[in-house]
Amino acid sequence: MGTSRGHSPARRTAAALAPAAAVAAAHILPAATWLPAVRRRFPRLAGEGHPGHVALTFDDGPDPESTPRFLDALEVLGVRATFFVLGDSVVRHPSVVRETARRGHELAVHGWSHDRPWLPGPAEDARALLRAAGAVRELTGRAPRWYRPPYGILTSGRWAAARTAGLRPVLWTTWGRDWTADATPASVRSAVAAGLRGGGTVLLHDTDRMSAPGCWRAALGALPGIVRTCHGAGLSVGPLADHGVRGRPA
């Protein structure tokens, strides 16, 4: 009985697909750092800093309706924060960005738009981050130091893009789950408190651009209680710049 020469069509197809599968895996596997159990293994990436300090951060702005309300609330509380902004909103609302910087807050990069990077696109990732960082620098006169990818999905391409743009990726150690339609100030405070500790980084949102309409009010209402809880525990609250985390690309 003779043997066929060469590989079967199925084996040839599998061999042809293997390189593409490897590229896809290398692209998306770093995004596992979104998971709390994985993120805890990378404390610098999670934003762990000085044990006596809590970094307060906001994502998805600027928003001309809601962001100024957060700026006013933070001024009353005597607290500064880091705002991770989207480049396409920065160019639409430059006055909000300038006012945020004028009040002493730190501007960081959340990307150009709030998209999910399921397919590899390293060149486009680099262009988008450079464009967003340039927009922030042009309006504030300062080069941003930090980068938090949308949804916390940090692919290998976005790692490389952050390095190209001179940005350090930073995620979070606790969040308020303030993007849902049923979020309340009490639920946001409770969610933050569940993971709050000295040296941690808190994630909230100063806009509902990518969330349930009006949900930013829950975060705004929770803000005084979160700050009081930190101060009551002897922890200072401020931006990542004061957090003791080195601002260089990981």
Q: For strand 53-61 and strand 82-85, is the pairing parallel, antiparallel, or unpaired?
A: parallel
Among residues 164, 171, 139, 158, the alpha carbon closest in space to that of 245 is found at 171
Return all residues near 169 (Cβ < 8 A) that are at least 6 apart.
Answer: 45, 146, 147, 148, 149, 154, 158, 159, 162, 249, 250
Distance CA 93, CA 64 (A): 7
Mark whether 205 is an active-site residue.
Answer: yes
Q: Would you state the structure tokens that stand for residue 24, as one six-digit string?
A: 């896809």
Mark whether 60 is an active-site residue.
Answer: no
Among residues 56, 83, 66, the alpha carbon closest in space to that of 213 is found at 66
Q: Would you state the structure tokens that stand for residue 62, as one six-digit string?
A: 């600027």
Distance CA 155, CA 30 (A): 5
- As separate numbers, helices (DSSP H) first and strands (DSSP E) second, the chain gives 10, 8
Q: For strand 146-147 and strand 53-61, is the pairing parallel, antiparallel, or unpaired?
A: unpaired
Which of the following is catalytic: 27, 93, 110, 205?
Answer: 205
Distance CA 113, CA 148 (A): 12
Residues with catalytic function? 59, 205
